[in-house]
Amino acid sequence: MKSYQKTQFLFSGVQDFMRRYIPPQAFFLSQIRKDWERIVGRNIAGHSFPANLRAGILSVNVDDSIWIQELSLQKDSLREHILDFFKDSRLSGVFTTLRFRNGEVARNNTSQARKLSLSLDKDTRQKIDETLSPIEDKELRESLRKYLIQSSLK
């Protein structure tokens, strides 16, 4: 197996793990943060960033009140773009609507994601630990744990 194929195989395995064991809300939020620019376009992504998801409401930080007004007018269209992007049936019902609020929007979305998500909830961390407990190699187990926690927060 070539290096690229190994990487693709590992990546698909990690994604499958996340789909199965990370709560749907955390998985949805990590994916939407990662792909925000692809979903809404460069211009909108430059002024906004998904902050959190609670009770089906995706709160989006926006850097200017004029942009909040503009995005509010496009709310239905943006919602449809998001639903089209996520055709994963596991995520149905996780996201229902958008809410725009004035907040910090970092130009580097990865650092913004880490800033906005200080920690995973206790249940998610416990599920990750339980899932990785059969791995005997301590260094590998800790690396995977760290990766899964960081991926869930992105």
Helix (H, G, I), strand (E, B) or coil at 61: strand
Helix (H, G, I), strand (E, B) or coil at 81: helix
pLDDT in tens, 37-73: 999 999 999 999 999 999 999 999 999 999 999 999 9
Residue 118 has pLDDT above 50, yes or no: no
Per-residue pLDDT at 117:
40
Helix (H, G, I), strand (E, B) or coil at 89: helix
Torsion-angle region of 55 (φ positive above 0: left; ψ -120 to 50: alpha; else: beta) = left
**What's the predicted TM-score (pTM) here?**
0.61
Helix (H, G, I), strand (E, B) or coil at 22: coil
Residue 154 has pLDDT above 60, yes or no: no
Domain ranges of the chain: 12-153
Q: What is the CB neighbour count within 10 angstroms for residue 96? A: 13
Residue 97 has pLDDT above 70, yes or no: yes
